Structure formats: structure tokens, C-alpha cells
Amino acid sequence: MHSRKRLFIGLFLLFTIMVLMALAYLIFYLREPDTIIFQYGIYILIGFLAALAGTSLLVLTVLVISLLKKRPLTGFNRLVQKTLVFFFPLLLQFGKLLRISTEQIQSSFIEINNRLVEAKKIKVPAQKLLLLLPHCLQDEGCPHKITRNPFNCRRCGNCSIGTLIDMADRWQFKIQVVTGGTLARQAVGKIKPYCILAVACERDLSSGIVDSYPMPVCGVLNERPQGPCFNTMVCLDSLEQKVRSILE
């Protein structure tokens, strides 16, 4: 069997074995509740669940206070962001079970992430700010290839790219147009920014934020008047405001 398939099946098997062991443990516990080993096991399980619930409660409290105060609570910011990134995929699945739209949950996650990043009041030099743009912002009929070099844009005014290149020229921050996660990761690896300002749809932004952790990513949702991935737009004023707030 191919090693990539083996890894997935191996992890799946490990998970199944762990569930079976937990099940066997519970069955034996119900049959022999007074055996000392089962009593210790139950205490360990209670301790684990209590730690999990305690961390969730602490993170929720810190999160709400930080959002209300618009500043991070010293010492907790890393824990909050780590927990959010860890729980996000689980909450997506949980939301699906409750029939809440995935896009709504992603959008809410992006909003919370942005508020936490803004609360940190990050300031970076222009050369260390990367503006990541999706390829679908480019006018569908434009013949110029801007994914490798965005400065191939002729700034004709048919789409927002020209104005954003002007902005990058004026403020001297880095700009990259990407077709997906691979190019985005390459750009981040090459430029090594301290902060990313990313424009994309809910799905790409939320997965980008999770992938890039602990790099601070401020997400801006694109507008899709003609449907997804086609001649999309972005609010240039709010984008410029965000650039100003991040630059030193």
C-alpha cells in the first residue's frame, strides 16, 4: 500500500483502537466498579474532562473580555488564539450537525480573528506587510498575467487590481495575487512578512488564518456580485484603512 494511504489508514486505525479501548474500559468498569484500577481511571477521565471544560470556559471568558475591551488580555492572547484555531474545525462540524451554514461560521471566525489581531495593535514596517489578493479580483477579460508578478497589471481601471497596485506603490508594502493556498504559502515563505492582510472568500480566508497561525492575518471578505470566483470586488476604502492601521 502507498505510504500516504498507510498514514491515513494508520491514524484511522489508531483512533478506532482508542475508542474501542475506552469502550472496553467502560464495560469492565460497569461490571467491576470497585476494582481499584477502574476507580483511578475514572478520576483521570474526570480530571481530563474538567481540564478541557475549564480551558474552554477560561478561553471564552478571556475572548469576550478582550473583544469588549478591544485589547488583548496580557498573557492569554496566545492561549486564546491557539484554542480558537484548534477548535475551529470541530466547531464547523458541530455547526453542520446543527444545520448552521458553514459560511456563517467561517465568517464569524474571521470576524473574531480580526478583532483579536486589531486588539494587539500590531505595527509593522511596510516591507513586512503582505497584501494577498485572490486571482478572481482580476477582470475576467484581462490578458495580463499578474499571479507571478502583480506589477504586470497595466492599471487600466477595469478592476480593483490597478488601484491596489497603486496603493502598494504609495505605501511600499508587498503585494501578491494568488490562485490558491499553494501560491499563498510560497509568497509567505518568500516574503516572510510579520503580518498578512488577506482578501478572499470565507472558506479561503478561514483556512488561511488557521494554516498561517501564529502569523497574524487580518481577513477582508471579497464581494461577489457576479457569483463566486468571478470578477469579484473588494472595498478599497476599508482595505486602505486597514493598511494605515497596520503600517508603522
Tell me which residues touch ligand SF4 (CB under 6 A). 138-139, 142, 144, 146, 153-156, 158-159, 161-162
> C-alpha cell of 164?
491596489
Nearer Cβ to ligand SF4 (128/144): 144
Task: Give CA torsion, residues 59, 66, 91, 50, to 10 deg.
Answer: 10
Nearer Cβ to ligand SF4 (43/230): 230
Nearer Cβ to ligand SF4 (84/133): 133
Nearer Cβ to ligand SF4 (43/151): 151
CA 198 to chain CA centroid, nearest Å: 11
Nearer Cβ to ligand SF4 (118/139): 139
Are 193 and 130 in contact, with CB atoms under 8 Å apart?
yes
**Least distance to ligand SF4 from the beta carbon of 239, Å?**
15
**Least distance to ligand SF4 from the beta carbon of 188, Å?**
22
> C-alpha cell of 219?
481577513
**Least distance to ligand SF4 from the beta carbon of 150, Å?**
8
Nearer Cβ to ligand SF4 (96/145): 145
**Least distance to ligand SF4 from the beta carbon of 153, Å?**
3
Task: Compute the distance between CA of residue 208 and CA of residue 222 in angstroms, rounded to an integer.
Answer: 14
Encode burial over 18-34: b for 16+ CB neighbours within 10 A, e otherwise: eeeeeeeeeeebeeeee
Between β-strands 195-200 and 174-178, what pairing exists: parallel, antiparallel or unpaired?
Answer: unpaired
Nearer Cβ to ligand SF4 (72/134): 134
